[in-house]
Amino acid sequence: MVSSARVIGWDIGGANVKAACAAGDGGVLTRLTTVSRYLPLWRVGKEALEPALLQLRAEVAGEEPIDLAAVAITAELSDVYATKREGINHVLNCIEAAHAGRPVLVLGVDGSPRTVSEARSKPLEVAAANWPATGWLASRFLKTCLVVDVGSTTTSIIPVVNGRLAARGRTDLEKLSCGELVYTGALRTNLAAVLRRAHVHCQETRVSSEFFALSADAHLVLGHIPEHDYTTETADGRGRSVLEARARLARLVCADHEMLTEEEITELAEEAYEAQLQEIRGGLEQVARDQGLSRESTPIVVAGIGRSFLAEEAARLAGFEAIIDLEDLTGLPGAARLAPAVGLSLMALSRVMGTELRWTRSSR
């Protein structure tokens, strides 16, 4: 047990890299800083990861020493890697390089940490394992709940029952099967993947399966996100204004903004939004049913960039009555938008200090 320590929690995905640096003294969290960067590995190449980690480490922690780095990895699914084993090993190489000999722990799918050598020997036990950190964070406050974390790309539905993670799935494949992973998100979802038919000129119309528009276009047009939150590249390589987003939405039905009115394009966005809500609702209902959790008594904890307009609204559609924002629950700035990184940093700090961590709403 040590009296004071500083750690970094990393959430490394194929599209975004997020980090949280937590410092503690005497079992009390004294400082929490966060940073996030859009880093599409399929476009910039895997060679870009190590320099990005070095820069982000400097941004979030400065030049002060770090006692421990803890990492959760989902980037292994990126198609820059031939296998998940290759992806895990490459990310670990980059993390070790960024921390120059400091201890590194890797979060496993069961919520427990692994050494780097253990992670390398059994990569599927640490692949796609950022969600346990989010569930752990919620479990510090609620013994039983369902966490719905809607990120830019996917939605994780994490059951916490009697203070423990109760997820049935371990791999992405298993989680897709049991509803704990819904592959729809606030920014990067190809709308042709969720919307097969739309209503245009009062006529049911098939949707083109081309890569014309993203969920970010729909949510920008509907006012769910500001332009500065549209952090992914656009489908057509053009800008991120509402006008340009409407043009992309019109192409869903092989039209343009001269053929459709503003109201008709907005209706397309609303139908895409409704389709996303129903996907998330379906996963939430499946997980609740499998866990035997009632809608009347089970709190829903929402997190991620899409927590208010996707997670919360889907939970209401499913009939859940108590809905809590993770940031309000924890009192920690950044906890909702960077939940895995924040949760992992607090897990790591507790481990280094050898005690259950405490904090107040003034912790920064």
Phi, psi (rounded to 5 degrees) for 69 = -115, 135
Q: What is the pLDDT of residue 363?
A: 53
Q: What is the pLDDT of residue 63?
A: 85
51 Cβ contact partners less than 8 Å away, ≥ 6 residues apart: none
Cα–Cα distance, 104 to 24 (Å, whole number): 18
pLDDT tens-digit readout, 154-213: 999 999 999 999 999 999 999 999 999 999 999 999 999 999 999 998 899 999 999 999
Comparing C-alpha atoms, which of 226, 323, 219 is closest to residue 277? 219
Average pLDDT, the chain: 96
Phi, psi (rounded to 5 degrees) for 329 = -65, -45
Q: What is the pLDDT of residue 190?
A: 98
Q: What is the pLDDT of residue 64?
A: 86
Report yes or no: 207 and 196 within 8 Å, Cβ to Cβ. Answer: yes
3-state secondary structure of 101: coil
Cα–Cα distance, 283 to 276 (Å, whole number): 11
DSSP conformational letter for 123: G
Report yes or no: 199 and 179 within 8 Å, Cβ to Cβ. Answer: no
Which single residue is written with the structure tokens 């399929």?
42
Mean pLDDT across the stretch 11-26? Answer: 96
pLDDT tens-digit readout, 111-147: 999 999 999 999 999 999 999 999 999 999 999 999 9
Report yes or no: 148 and 303 within 8 Å, Cβ to Cβ. Answer: yes
Domains of the chain, CATH where assigned = 4-135+333-353 (3.30.420.40)
Find the angle CA(364)-CA(332)-CA(170) to the nearest 5 degrees.
125
Q: What is the pTM of this model?
A: 0.95
Strand order in the sheet with 28-38: 28-38, 16-25, 4-12, 68-73, 104-107, 113-115
Mean pLDDT across the stretch 320-334? Answer: 96
Percent of residues, the chain, with pLDDT higher than 70: 99
pLDDT tens-digit readout, 51-108: 999 999 999 999 889 999 999 999 999 999 999 999 999 999 999 999 988 999 999 9
Cα–Cα distance, 165 to 137 (Å, whole number): 11
Do the strands 155-161 and 181-182 form a parallel or antiparallel pair, or are they unpaired? antiparallel
Mean pLDDT across the stretch 40-55? Answer: 96
Q: What stretches of 48-201 adopt beta strand conformation (E)?
A: 68-73, 104-107, 113-115, 145-150, 155-161, 164-165, 181-182, 197-200
Residue 1 has pLDDT above 80, yes or no: no
Residue 124: Cβ-neighbour burial (10 angstroms; 0-12, 13-18, 19+): middle
Banded model confidence at residue 361, pLDDT cuts 50, 70, 90: low
Residue 362 has pLDDT above 60, yes or no: no
Q: What is the pLDDT of residue 93?
A: 97
DSSP H stretches of helix in 202-261: 215-221, 242-251
